[in-house]
Copies of this chain bind each other. A is one copy, B any other.
Amino acid sequence: MTRNILVVEKILSANDRIAAENRAIFDASGIKAFNLMASPGAGKTSLIEQTIKRLLPTLNLAVIDGDIATNIDADRAAAAGAIAVQINTGGECHLDAIMINSALKQMNLQDIEVIIVENVGNLVCPASFQLGTHKSVLIASIPEGDDKPYKYPGMYRGVDALVINKIDLLPYVPFNMEYFRKGVEILNPGLETFPLSCKTGEGLDSWIQWIKIHAQA
């Protein structure tokens, strides 16, 4: 068991070293990078599509898409007009800094101002792996239920912003926003939140404002 823990620690510290390298690459190229995390189906790709649509006229945007399998998400990002690179992790439940490093080597960085990394759909594993991005964003989704901050605290603790997607479904599912927000506030006091619907467009303006500010910081 000790041996196992030592190996895991070694992997994490190797990851942190490459994450620092990635950050240096971003900074040298004048790129701001965002790590987008969520459960499967919370709306990462939909939010990226909406963000591309609204940012692309003024900012050059690229997407690095992480998935166990398929190019579905990168294809959607590319169809929306962004440069898109797909990483298939095989069985891994998260992206790591080495995967991002490899993806960066395939990209023409001087043409890019913003990179959005779409992590593997998972509310546990991605929280443990720094990628070198400047900001981490979590997407919660109304139909997932209001108890998720309490049950997945690691993920809620470590992020810089929280998108609450699919608010158009609020009339159809049980979701106590006060209980949800109380859990978030305990884990991550003062966290900026963006309730919105990628489907109807409601609330997207504030999110776009936030990403613009941090893209140009």
Contacts and interface: CB of A to CB of B under 8 A. Distances in A.
Interface stretch (A18-26, A56-64, A121-129, A188-196): A121-129
Contacts of A125: 93, 124-125
B4 A148 contact: no
A124 B68 contact: yes
Interface stretch (A28-36, A102-110, A168-176, A201-209): A168-176
Interface in A105-121: 120-121
Interface string A144-187: 11011011111000000000001011001110000000000000
Which residue of A40, A72, A123, A147 has the most chain B CB atoms within 10 A of its CB atom?
A: A40
A49 interface: no
Which residue of A39, A73, A124, A125 has the most chain B CB atoms within 10 A of its CB atom?
A: A124
A30 to B, nearest CB: 32
A118 to B, nearest CB: 11
Contacts of A51: none
B7 A93 contact: no
A91 B128 contact: yes
Contacts of A130: none
A141 interface: yes
Contacts of A154: 68, 91
Contacts of A151: 40, 67-70, 72-73, 121
Contacts of A122: 93, 122-124
Contacts of A81: none
Interface in A33-57: 39-41
Given A67-B151, A69-B150, A93-B93, 18 more contacts: A3-B7, A4-B11, A39-B39, A39-B144, A40-B152, A68-B152, A69-B153, A70-B151, A120-B124, A124-B125, A143-B143, A143-B166, A143-B169, A169-B169, A169-B172, A169-B173, A172-B172, A174-B199
Question: What 7 pairs across the A-B complex have the smallest Cβ distances?
Answer: A41-B144, A93-B124, A143-B143, A39-B40, A41-B145, A40-B123, A70-B150
